[in-house]
Amino acid sequence: MKANPLGQKVLEILTPKVGAIVAQAMLEKQCNAIGASPAFLRKDHLEPLAKRIEHVLVIFGHDGKEVSNKIRAL
Amino acid sequence: MKHCKECGVPDIIGRDQRWSSDGTIPITGDPNFRMGIVEVPVMREIASRLEKIVGPSIHNMFMESKRKYARHYIDILLKGPLGFLVRHTASGGKKVYQTLLQTSTSLGYGHATVDEYKRKTLVHGTIHNPYYTPFFVGDVRGVFESVERLPSTGTWVDKGDVATIAVDVMAGEDELGKRFQYDDTLRKPGDLKYTPCKSCGLPKELSRFVWDLDKGTILDTKANERVFITGLNDFNGVFMELEEAIGDIVPNTILEVNREHGVKLVKNRVVTGYGDLVRGAGLKGLAYTTFQGNNDQVKLTFKNTFNKNYVVGRALGVYEGLEGKKPEHTIKETPGIIELTIKGRGA
């Protein structure tokens, strides 16, 4: 599913960290988990989305907080 | 290391594991801790395909998951006075690691030696014929954390059939200390029966596995492939976290690798009917399986499966190999039970 402009911005933050395939899959999975979708992502989704991404990014060896703060700031 | 004169299985395997009638292999000290026999090529292929998607961090994930369950396993082995001695006497140290690493040779992990040890600081070593190096580093971290009661870090360098490993005390916060935990305690009863070895009492069917304790390998002579014995939640810890992070790519990969392996097993005449699949899954501790079939479809019921996609993928591959048709399948799930119905595509 193609991400809307806000979703694209989240992908731009995630891609350098985990690569394009994982970034796309992660955005879709985490959007689903909060009842949203990349195509219809809204500003009010960003806080719960950032929280979830922070949690899952740790297993990839990244500082989840740094990324989640960037997402919150969008 | 002593082994049964009749079936060749090392004594330590029967001492620490029990082949249960419900298709599981619990360790003797903790009935909820499941072991299983896993094919090395399947393990490596899953890791390799996930690496292509996730990147090299997949290997760290397997190491992290393994260290957790290895620590638990060693905690059980070192219960009581033995644990006190190991942890509180000066003579413990390097010898303890050497003894515990010897145990790992009987599980098919390779042949390891301790090169350097400093109490509560580090353990560095070398492993020949590692089954999968990140998993082995996880094992050593688990031993270190159980013996020293301190969190650790782990690194390794693979050089062909040899790898050097370094486990050191962790300096900062253990951020992954509470991750990769998969607890599955639900068990359904089964009525699997094994013919016991006259000498050691373990299932006679285990004689198809040949232990080379010098190399630290176990060969499944029926399939002509290397296997190892491991805690099954070592895998599930990684699969669960990854699925939570990136969704269906992970279960689909596990299913696909196992489907392909199932086809190969039939092609090589390791599996010649569904009965082989049923008995094999039980003997390897992967599931309790029953089978019903007619001309149109095959129905397999799995209880106590350690991983749905692993066993379903394997069954689909076996179907494809035996029937010569691409499979179409449906799954009905209730707690602890997976009912898989397979028929030929377009049938």
Q: Residue A21 and residue B242: Cβ atoms within 8 Å?
A: no
Q: Which chain A residues touch B241 with a CB distance below 8 Å?
A: 56, 59
Shared domain for B219 and B135, answered yes or no, is yes
Shared domain for B86 and B107, answered yes or no, is yes
Closest CA to B307 of B237, B228, B242, B220: B237
Question: Nearest residue of B to residue A52 by CA position?
Answer: B245
C-alpha to C-alpha distance for B69 and B50, rounded to whole angstroms: 21
Shared domain for B255 and B212, answered yes or no, is no
Shared domain for B129 and B267, answered yes or no, is no
Alpha helices in chain B (DSSP H): 11-16, 40-54, 57-77, 81-88, 93-106, 133-148, 233-246, 249-267, 274-283, 308-323
pLDDT band at B91 (very low <50, low <70, confident <90, very high): low
**Which residue range(s) make up the domain with B194?**
1-246
pLDDT of B76 over the 90 cut? no
Q: Which of B176, B246, B249 sits opposite A58 (nearest CB)?
A: B176
- pLDDT, residue B346, reads 66
- pLDDT, residue B16, reads 86
Structurally, chain A folds into a number of domains equal to 1
Structurally, chain B folds into a number of domains equal to 2
**Which residue range(s) make up the domain with A30?**
5-72
Shared domain for B300 and B241, answered yes or no, is no
C-alpha to C-alpha distance for B89 and B228, rounded to whole angstroms: 32
Shared domain for B92 and B127, answered yes or no, is yes
Q: Which chain B residues touch A56 with a CB distance below 8 Å?
A: 241, 244-246
B35 φ, ψ (degrees, to nearest 5): -105, 165
B135 burial type by CB count under 10 A (0-12 exposed, 13-18 middle, 19+ buried): buried
C-alpha to C-alpha distance for B112 and B136, rounded to whole angstroms: 9
The mean of the pLDDT values for chain B is 91
> Which of A24-28, A38-42, B57-61, B178-182 is predicted least confidently?
B178-182
Sequence-distant contacts of B186-189: CB under 8 A, at least 24 apart? B186/B304, B186/B335, B186/B336, B187/B22, B187/B24, B187/B304, B187/B336, B188/B22, B188/B288, B188/B303, B188/B304, B188/B336, B188/B337, B189/B21, B189/B22
Shared domain for B228 and B262, answered yes or no, is no
Q: In A, residues 31-70, which contact B (CB 8 Å cutoff)?
A: 32, 56-61
Q: Residue B57 and residue A21: Cβ atoms within 8 Å?
A: no
Shared domain for B257 and B185, answered yes or no, is no
Q: What is the DSSP letter of B197?
A: P
Two tokens at B336?
Answer: 């602890």
Q: Which chain A residues touch B64 with a CB distance below 8 Å?
A: 59
Write out pLDDT tens, residues B5-51: 999 999 999 988 999 999 999 998 888 889 999 999 999 999 999 99
Shared domain for B220 and B329, answered yes or no, is no
Write out pLDDT tens, residues B272-299: 999 999 999 999 999 999 999 877 899 9
Question: Which amino acid is it at B79?
Answer: K
* A26 and B CB contact within 8 Å: yes
Closest CA to B38 of B261, B275, B304, B269: B261
- Residue pair B5/B171 in contact (Cβ under 8 Å)? The answer is no
Give percent of chain B above pLDDT 70. 98
Q: Which of B246, B267, B297 is the last residue of a domain?
A: B246
Mean pLDDT of A38-66: 94
Q: Residue B246 and residue A58: Cβ atoms within 8 Å?
A: no
What pTM, to 2 d.p., does this model score? Answer: 0.91
Q: Residue B244 and residue A28: Cβ atoms within 8 Å?
A: no
- pLDDT, residue B182, reads 75
Write out pLDDT tens, residues B210-269: 999 999 999 999 999 999 999 988 888 889 999 999 999 999 999 999 999 999 999 999
Question: Which amino acid is it at B15?
Answer: R
- pLDDT, residue B268, reads 95
Q: In B, residues 35-54, which contact A (CB 8 Å cutoff)?
A: 53-54
Q: Which of B246, B265, B293 is the last residue of a domain?
A: B246
Which ipTM did the prediction report? Answer: 0.90
pLDDT band at B80 (very low <50, low <70, confident <90, very high): confident
Shared domain for B70 and B172, answered yes or no, is yes
- pLDDT, residue B90, reads 67
* A8 and B CB contact within 8 Å: no
Q: Residue A59 and residue B249: Cβ atoms within 8 Å?
A: no
- Residue pair B132/B48 in contact (Cβ under 8 Å)? The answer is no
Q: Which of B246, B272, B287 is the last residue of a domain?
A: B246
Mean pLDDT of B331-342: 94
Q: Residue A58 and residue B242: Cβ atoms within 8 Å?
A: no
pLDDT band at A34 (very low <50, low <70, confident <90, very high): very high
Shared domain for B156 and B271, answered yes or no, is no
Q: Residue A56 and residue B241: Cβ atoms within 8 Å?
A: yes
